[in-house]
Amino acid sequence: MTENIGKVVSVNGNLVSVRFTGDVSMNEICYVKVDDVKLKSEVIRIKGDIAQIQVYEMTGGIKCGDDVEFTGEMLSAQLGPGLLGQVYDGLQNPLPVLAEQAGWFLERGIYADGLNAEKKWEFTPTAKPGDTLKAGEYIGTVPEGPFTHKIFIPFNLLGTYTVKSINEKGEYTVNETIAVVTDERGKEIQISMAFRWPVKRAVKCYSERLAPQETMETKVRLIDSFFPVAKGGTYCTPGPFGAGKTVLQHTTSKYADVDIVIIAACGERAGEVVETLTEFPELTDPKTGRSLMERTIIICNTSSMPVASREASVYTSVTLAEYYRQMGLHVLLLADSTSRWAQALREMSGRLEEIPGEEAFPAYLESYIAAFYERAGYVRLPDGSTGSVTIGGTVSPAGGNFEEPVTQATLKVVGAFHGLSRERSDARKYPAIDPLISWSKYKTVTDSKKSAYCKNILLNGDEIGSMMKVVGEEGTSLSDYQVYLKAEMLDAVYLQQNSFDLIEANCTRERQCYVTDKLIRVLGSEYVLDNKDDARSFFNRMRQKFINWNYTEFESEAFKNAEKEIDEMYNEGKGAISSEAELLLKESE
Amino acid sequence: MGKIYNRIESITGNVITVKAEGVRYNELAQINTQFGKSLAQVNKIDGDTVSLQVFAGGQGVSTGDEVRFLGQEMRVSFSEDLLGRIFNGSGEPRDKGPALTENMKPIGGPSVNPTKRILANRMMRTNIPMIDMFNTLVVSQKLPIFSISGEPYNQLLARIALQAEADVIVLGGMGLKYDDFLYFKEELSNGGALSKTVMFIHTASDPTVECMMIPDMSLAVAEQFALQDKDVLVLLTDMTNFADSMKEIAITQEQVPSNRGYPGDLYSQLASRYEKAVDFANSGSVTVLAVTTMPGDDVTHPVPDNTGYITEGQYYLKGGRIEPFGSLSRLKQNVNSKTRKDHRILMDSMIRLYSSYKETIEKKNMGFSMNRWDEKLLKYGELFENKLMDLSVNLSLEDSLDLGWQILAECFEKDETGIKSDLTDEFWPVK
């Protein structure tokens, strides 16, 4: 390949214009040479012989006439064994390796391979010479942590390929040739365990895309029982600052019922990444019993790291997620926060002097957000197995107002909405998901009728609560007051959940169903209570019993005892179940 | 040495353009105007047209003035000699001391590799009970002080500078009133803290561009001290002025504004400053406290709003006190389990009782009669406000905790506080 070199003609922030002579493609990667370092950049607009590029680094020191080297390649991620447990920046540079090379700071112009080139992996071939395969089908496996990592025919090879030779079982590095295949014309292609894939293109090497049906348990009661997320689905969590978005994602990343979790810390605090890095290696994955870090990949492009690579970081993360999905695994991608990504788009759009849309966000904001969330999905793979990518993104709306463009564009494309409210977080009701505004299109872990019944209690209680603010307790009837207390109790014992307690935070599907039944019995009953004071004290005590019950291990002795206490309390109040609740409980038996 | 250009093409506000070649982005230049020399920084290059923001402002700049490019970016001298000195936003002395030119370090450098950070887990004592006891400041934390104009935020900062347990204090003043500047100078020298303090001061009458340099200068110096194993506390006042200067320059350069006229990169700009707060593994640390005044007491204004998303909590200064409900130190749980075993529970209980007191006050104002419990709360609230919340209280954490128990004992019986009995048995003062 001949060298394609351009010259810098203008610099404005991290946007640099380059005059070029050869051919340049959109989103191609190029390097700006400043003194003795090369700064990675991406072509984002081409006009005549001028290419506008966004530089992934700080642009101080660039001058007109500096050389720009075009590579002919798009921004891509290196895919292969060894991704799990890594901490990358937005461009897939492993941060610990950068620390070894550069010390304390992220000096510009230092890049490293995403995968360790020296580490040997034990390869077991599954294909034989003569087999015909397509991109996305695998030729062998290596063990990676608790998983069987499949070695694929690279996704970018079109058509069918015949295996000419394949190495025997043994230890190889990611860059060694392990097989040779020939294409339809007989041209030989060498295959190693790693290959590159352009991050902004979705991986489509699957047989068919299925509807997300299977619920992904997050172990958060409020989510699973009321506003669930499906494997292969999408959801968003908008909320004002301090409402607990990050803590909620953190909890989800620990307990979610998936194989692999990818955390994209996009434009957020470095301190939070440090917390994950310190905590995760110490925790065990309840599914495999191994360190939680072994199923986690962290892509962090914190708020002070360059903006352009913040934009790239969400694409890098989703590409890694799709790669593991191709192995028949269920992957959860948590992006915190997509607003920062949108702001990165806005900054570049401003520099490109595009006509601004609402709040100066670019007009293509919606289609970019839609395209990103569309990369989630539940798919059937060529070998018949299934895999999924679930995407959950936080949104940080300005002023906590959901009427802003990023929240609205996101709501259009996601399958579940968990809106956090300042009111709930101020009242220390965590998780601060507001049940009155949130919604989900997926299947709840509990029976959907039961879930609706509980939601109804909340709704009625809220109505009476707001009425009480006007007419006072005195002006409310005893029966209305009881409905209010029931809603309060449901909120306190089921919706609120202590994410720092190991048992309480990890509430399984079975437990949720069991507790919901009990709650429907207790809340769907009428009690013999003389006045409001009696009612208040009765439900307060009942509430305490349920909270104690929540902290006991499921089906343990303590669990049964706590349940007995609830039953006793129920009898003490002379509870009589309503016909509606009774029917509901009977139906499910 | 750089070439000299004698022709300025355009002057808009504080931004000038010249035709020049071989100029680097962010490079500094020096302009000789009839009012003296000023620095200027390249902030846009388009072919041979170079835009510069002039530190001393555009006033009086003539199209015939001389522009000389210096071939280097903005830097700041770093050595122990900085301690006790006062500089302006260009790094020139504001006091009578000599200019420092040795060991120049770049400002606004790259961010710290997250894998080189450690989890914030050391308390920074300030001897202000509302901070130490209720919303503990943690080494390497970044916290804004949300306030409205007229609140004594500068007095608060000065007290923190005097009392905080930090090796070095860096004070960055942006858009300060001149008398506030004098106040800081006097307070710190009277309190004997001047010798461990470096000040970068931009007063309201100084040119706007210098205001934008203050945080970078302050944080660059802080970072250097931190790399020499020092625990540095950076006090910035007022970040809203900093944001407003950015707005001014952005609008002058015809950038598309995003929200209330602020540039679209406001979040990134603020974050790149706040994220300089760091606890280096095996070395020193930088802690940042920054006053952010809220125009119209509106926390959804773009500056406090974006700040809230970046920082690890906030202190609300209201009515001359650090308000206990809105204020939050997100990192406090990392440290307050290790101080004294009654710390957490006392903190929670006292705040809970204080919130009941607030409800009682409301009831009282509406004309309801007060019962015995209400009377107790009223007494408690008053004691709490006078003895602990007042900004002039200077008490160590342990003394504040003891005082807290005393206040409780003066107003309530043991079992009225809702504190576990094994703690009340141990700490309840004997009457």
List chain B residues with pLDDT less than 70.
Answer: 1-2, 431
**Which residues in chain A are classed under CATH 2.40.30.20?**
4-74
Sort A466 into a burial class: Cβ within 10 Å, 0-12 / 13-18 / 19+.
exposed
Tally Cβ neighbours within 10 Å of residue B134. Answer: 26
Instruction: Return the DSSP state at A398.
Output: G
Nearest alpha-carbon partner for B206 in B242, B232, B233: B242
Q: Does residue B311 contact residue A268 with C-beta atoms inside 8 Å?
A: no
Contact indicator for B75, B107 with CB cutoff of 8 Å:
yes
Question: pLDDT per residue over A181-238, tens digit each?
Answer: 999 898 999 999 999 999 999 999 999 999 999 999 999 999 999 999 999 999 999 9
By the CB < 8 Å criterion, does A64 face chain B?
yes
Asked if residue A337 has a cis previous peptide bond (ω within 30° of 0), the answer is: yes
C-alpha distance from A347 to closest chain B C-alpha (Å): 6
Neighboring chain B residues of A274 at a CB cutoff of 8 Å: 114, 117-119
For residues A587 and B81, give the distance between their C-alpha atoms in angstroms, rounded to a whole number.
81
- Spatial separation of the C-alpha atoms in residues A417 and A437, rounded to whole Å: 8
Structure ipTM: 0.86
The size of the A-B interface in CB pairs under 8 A is 167
Give A4-74's CATH code, choosing from 3.20.20.150, 3.40.980.10, 2.40.30.20, 2.40.40.20.
Answer: 2.40.30.20
Closest CA relative to residue B204, chosen from B174, B242, B244, B175: B175
Question: In this complex, do B46 and A273 lie within 8 Å of one another by their Cβ atoms?
Answer: no
Contact B91, B105 (CB under 8 A): no
Backbone angles phi, psi at B383, to 5 degrees: -60, -45
Nearest chain B residue to A305 by CA: give it.
B111
| Touching B: A residues 132-161, CB under 8 Å | none
Q: Which of residues 11-30 of A touch B (CB under 8 A)?
A: 11-13
Candidates A414, A435, A70; CA nearest to A225 is A435
Q: What is the pLDDT of residue A243?
A: 85
Residue A114 near residue A256 (C-beta atoms within 8 A): no
Q: Do B73 and A303 touch (CB under 8 A)?
A: no
The whole-angstrom separation of Cα B223 and Cα B286 is 7
Q: Do B227 and A104 touch (CB under 8 A)?
A: yes
Residue whose tokens read 């970044």: B142
At residue A15, does pLDDT exceed 60? yes
Question: Residues A319-327: what's their mean pLDDT?
Answer: 96
- Number of continuous H segments (helices) and E segments (strands) in chain A: 16, 30
Q: Which residues of A touch B256 (CB under 8 A)?
A: 350, 353, 356, 360
How far apart, in Å, are the Cα atoms of B208 and each of A392, B54, B244, B263, B268? 42, 9, 9, 16, 20
A427 touches chain B (CB under 8 A): no
35-54 of A, contacting B, C-beta below 8 A: none
Question: Does residue A436 sit in helix, strand or coil?
Answer: coil
> Does B115 sit within 8 Å of A398, measured CB to CB?
no
CB contact under 8 A, B73 and A60: yes
Query: Whose CA is closest to B238, among B279, B274, B292?
Result: B292
Q: pLDDT at position A92, please?
A: 95
Q: Measured between CB atoms, which of B24, B272, B300 is closest to A304?
A: B272
pLDDT at A2: 58
- Pairing between β-strand A50-55 and β-strand A132-134 as defined by DSSP bridges: unpaired
Query: How many Cβ atoms from other residues are within 10 Å of residue B93's Cβ?
Result: 13
Among A8, A9, A10, the strongest candidate for a mutation testing the B interface, having the largest count of B CBs within 10 A, is: A10
Three-state secondary structure readout of A182-231: ECCCCCEEEEECCEEEECCCCCCCCCEEECCCCEECCCCHHHHHHCCEEC
- Give B201's strand partners: B173
**How far, in Å, CA of B85 to CA of B196, rounded?**
9
Pairing relationship of beta strands B8-12 and B15-19 according to DSSP bridges? antiparallel
B305–A399: do the CB atoms touch at under 8 Å? yes
Rounded Cα distance, A149 and B392, in Å: 63
Contact A360 B26 (CB under 8 A): no
Measured between CA atoms, how close is A339 to chain B, in angstroms?
11
DSSP letter for A94, please: B
Interface check for A396 against chain B (CB to CB < 8 A): the answer is yes
CA–CA separation, A65 vs B21, rounded Å?
A: 9
Contact B257 A277 (CB under 8 A): no
**How close does chain A come to B189, measured CA to CA in Å?**
34
Q: Are residues A359 and B258, on separate chains, in Cβ contact within 8 Å?
A: yes
Q: In chain B, what residues touch A10 (CB-CB under 8 Å)? A: 44-47
Label residue A314 left, alpha or beta by phi (over 0 means left) and psi (-120 to 50 means alpha): alpha
pLDDT tens digits for B177-206?
999 999 999 999 999 999 999 999 999 999
Residues of chain A with CATH 3.40.50.300: 86-114+213-440
Angstrom distance (rounded) from CA B197 to CA A576: 72
- Provide CATH code, domain A121-193: 2.40.50.100
Q: What's the topology of domain A448-587?
A: 1.10.1140
**Side chain identity at residue A585, one-letter code:** L
Max CA pair span of chain B: 83
How many angstroms separate the most distant Cα atoms in chain A? 91
The whole-number pLDDT of residue B431 equals: 66
Quick check: B268 and A300 CB within 8 A? Answer: no
Instruction: Share the mean pLDDT of chain A.
Output: 92
Contact B15, B54 (CB under 8 A): yes
CA–CA dist A244, A425 (Å, integer): 7
- Six-digit token string for B102: 């040795």
- The pLDDT value recorded for residue B126 is 94
User: Which residue in the set B25, B264, B312 is minimally distant from A269, CB to CB?
Assistant: B312
What single DSSP character describes residue B424?
H
B282 contact A CB<8A: no
Closest residue on chain A to B258 (Cα)? A360
Contact at CB, B116 and A271, closer than 8 angstroms:
no
Structure tokens at A276: 């994950």
- Cα separation of the two ends of chain B: 78
Task: Outline which parts of chain A fall under CATH 2.40.50.100.
Answer: 121-193
Closest Cβ opposite residue A274 in set B27, B117, B325: B117
Angle at A333 between CA A93 and CA A319, to 5 degrees: 50
Q: From residue A543, how far is each of A80, A539, A566, B207 by CA, in Å? A: 51, 6, 9, 62
Determine, for residues B46 and A87 on separate chains, whether the beta-carbon distance falls below 8 Å.
no
* Beta pairing class for B285-293 and B231-237: parallel
Residue spans of alpha helices (H) in A36-124: 95-102
Torsion of CA A560, A564, A566, A567, to 10 degrees: 130
Angle between helices B153-163 and B178-190 (to 10 degrees): 20
pLDDT at residue A1 in the model: 47
Which residues of B, range 12-71, sit inside 8 Å of A by Cβ? Answer: 21-27, 44-48
Kindly state whether A271 is in contact with chain B, defined as any CB-CB distance less than 8 angstroms.
Answer: yes
Reply yes or no on domain A86-114+213-440 having CATH 3.40.50.150. Answer: no
Q: What pLDDT does A435 receive?
A: 94
Q: Which of B24, B44, B16, B21 is nearest to A14 (CA)?
A: B44
Q: Tell me, what DSSP letter sits at residue A58?
A: -
For residues B269 and B307, the answer to whether their CB atoms sit within 8 Å is no
Residue A582 pLDDT grade (very low, low, confident, very high; cuts 50, 70, 90): very high
Concatenated DSSP letters of B286-313: EEEEEEEE-GGG-TTSHHHHHHHHHSSE
Taking the CA atoms of A6, A10, A15 and A17 in sequence, report the sign of the dihedral they define: negative
Q: How many Cβ atoms sit within 10 Å of the Cβ of residue A589? A: 5
**What pLDDT was estimated at residue B2?**
65
CA separation (Å) from B215 to A252, B221, B274, B428? 37, 10, 9, 46
CB contact under 8 A, B268 and A108: no
Q: Contact A164/A182 with Cβ under 8 angstroms?
A: yes
Two structure tokens written together for B417:
């506080």
Contact A350, B256 (CB under 8 A): yes
Helices B372-384 and B343-365 sit at what angle, rounded to 10 degrees? 120
Which candidate from B120, B259, B275 shows the least CB-CB separation from A302? Answer: B275
A116-144 per-position pLDDT tens digit = 999 999 999 999 999 999 999 999 999 99
Contacts for B414 with CB less than 8 Å, ≥ 6 apart: B421, B424, B428
CB contact under 8 Å between B113 and A106, yes or no, is yes
Separation of alpha carbons B334 and B123, rounded Å? 9
Half-sphere exposure of B162 (CA within 13 A, CB side): 18
Nearest CB partner across the interface for B305, out of A95, A99, A398: A398
Domain with CATH 1.10.1140.10 in chain A: 448-587
Q: Which residue from A minimizes the CA distance to B300? A: A399
Among B15, B24, B25, B259, the strongest candidate for a mutation testing the A interface, having the largest count of A CBs within 10 A, is B25
Compute the distance between CA of residue B234 and CA of residue B164 in angstroms, rounded to an integer.
11
User: What are the C-alpha distances in Å from A537 to residues A322, A462, A519?
Assistant: 53, 20, 18
Helices (H) and strands (E) in chain B, counts: 12, 21
User: Which of A10, A63, A242 lies nearest to residue B46, judging by beta carbons?
Assistant: A10
Of the partner residues A64, A361, A401, the one whose CB lies closest to the CB of residue B45: A64
Q: Which of residues 234-253 of B touch A (CB under 8 A)?
A: none
Which of A52-56, A66-70, A87-91, B257-261 is predicted with the least confidence, judged by mean pLDDT? B257-261
Closest-CA residue of A relative to B254 is A353
Within A491-553, residue ranges assigned H as helices are 502-505, 509-523, 532-550
Residue A323 pLDDT exceeds 70 = yes
B residues 116-135 closer than 8 Å to A (CB): 116-120
With beta carbons under 8 A apart, name residues in chain A contacting B295: none
Q: CB of A95 within 8 Å of any CB in chain B?
A: yes
The reply to whether residue A241 touches residue B308, judged by beta carbons under 8 angstroms, is yes
Domains of chain B (ranges, CATH numbers): 4-73 (2.40.10.170), 76-333 (3.40.50.12240), 343-427 (no CATH)
Q: Which of B23, B48, B312 sits opposite A271 (nearest CB)?
A: B312
Q: Cβ separation of B312 and A11 shorter than 8 Å?
A: no
Integer Cα distance of B241 and B211 in angstroms: 8
CA distance B266 to chain A (A): 10
Tokens 């019995």 map to which residue?
A: A521
Q: Measured between alpha carbons, how far apart are the two ends of chain A, in Å?
A: 70
* pTM summary value: 0.91
Please state, in angstroms and as integers, the Cα–Cα distance from residue B209 to each residue in A102, B56, B249, B341, following that order: 32, 7, 8, 49
Asked if the C-beta of B302 comes within 8 angstroms of chain A's C-beta atoms, the answer is: yes
Task: Please tell me the distance from the alpha carbon of residue B413 to that of residue B405, in angstroms, as a whole number.
Answer: 11
